[in-house]
Amino acid sequence: MDTTNRLKQVADLLLEISSLLMVSGANTNRVDLNIDRFASVLNCESFSLISQKTIILTVVDIKTGENYTKVKNLPSHKIDFTILSLISKASWNAIDQDWSLSRIRNEINNLKDQKRYPRIVVLIAVSFAGAGFCKIFGGDYLNLLVAFVSTFFGLLMLQETHRRLFNVYINVFLASLTASTIASLGVYFNLGTQPEAALATSILFLVPGVALINSFSDLLDKNVLNGMVRFANGVMTVLAMALGLFIAMLIFELK
């Protein structure tokens, strides 16, 4: 295999890895470290410019000095910490066991084929988490039921709008409106001892924790541009949540 063709394959593979990491919720520094590990195993150096929507990667062959540059647009983000953990583990195994290009490619393809939890399991688990938050804020079992149902249908709305490729902030707004509207019924009819707790916790599943944590992490790592972009995304998400809650409270004339 000639050097140019090999560098092209290496660049394609590293871009695929970096794309998986970014869309799964990795911070910028973690993406850089994993790319560098895989590149070192393949006797290359990597230089990357990473943004929220695009990655520009240059791969340099250590022996010949020949380089190859390629750009990849990122798909919509979908948080998956399992992917982050498995890729990080694979990068260390690649160094320890001196993996070949084909071995790394096969491992990454296997990671991409990992089955996610069934949709209904995710819906039920997140809904129980919402009910748990309601319990922490003093809700009784009727309030927990309201929080469970509102979280369930709010997350269902989020999943459906995401599947239909709606704008991400429209997704959050509609999910927040759905969840808070159902929870507002509990306040309107005064269900349970703390119906306000169910309303307050019904949209907590939308809190952009990953974006805000990665924003802070990127700023600490001097990746200022990505840090500010992620912070702006987090703020916009919070505003979309607040707008959905505000409209639901306006409909039911809640104070």
pLDDT digits (tens, 9 = 90+) for 15-52: 999 999 999 999 999 999 999 999 999 999 999 999 98
Q: Specify the 3-state DSSP secondary structure of 57.
A: strand
Tens-digit pLDDT profile for residues 35-45: 999 999 999 99
pLDDT at 2 over 90: no
Tens-digit pLDDT profile for residues 107-135: 999 988 888 889 999 999 999 999 999 99
pLDDT at 53 over 80: yes
Whole-model pTM: value is 0.89
Instruction: Go through 111-133 and write b for each residue having 16 or more CB atoms within 10 A of its CB, e for each that does not.
Output: beeeeeeeeeeebeebbebbbeb
Contacting residues for 181 by C-beta, under 8 A, at least 6 apart: 248, 251
What's the mean pLDDT when you consider all of the chain? Answer: 93
- Of 69, 84, 112, the one marking the end of a domain is 112
Tokens of 33: 């470290």
Residues of the chain above pLDDT 70, percent: 100
- Of 56, 89, 112, the one marking the end of a domain is 112
Residues 188, 222 within the same domain: yes
pLDDT at 103 over 60: yes
Instruction: Go through 176-200 and write b for each residue having 16 or more CB atoms within 10 A of its CB, e for each that does not.
Output: bbbbbbbbbbbbeeebbebbbbbbb
- Of 112, 132, 164, the one marking the end of a domain is 112
Tokens of 86: 């498995």
* 43/53 Cα distance (integer angstroms): 28
Residues 108, 133 within the same domain: no
pLDDT at 230 over 90: yes
Domain that holds residue 35: 3-112
pLDDT at 1 over 70: no
* 181/183 Cα distance (integer angstroms): 5
The DSSP symbol for 180 reads H
Phi, psi of 249 (to 5 degrees): -70, -35
Residues 239, 157 within the same domain: yes
Residues 91, 11 within the same domain: yes
Axis-axis angle for helices 101-112, 3-24 (nearest 10): 30
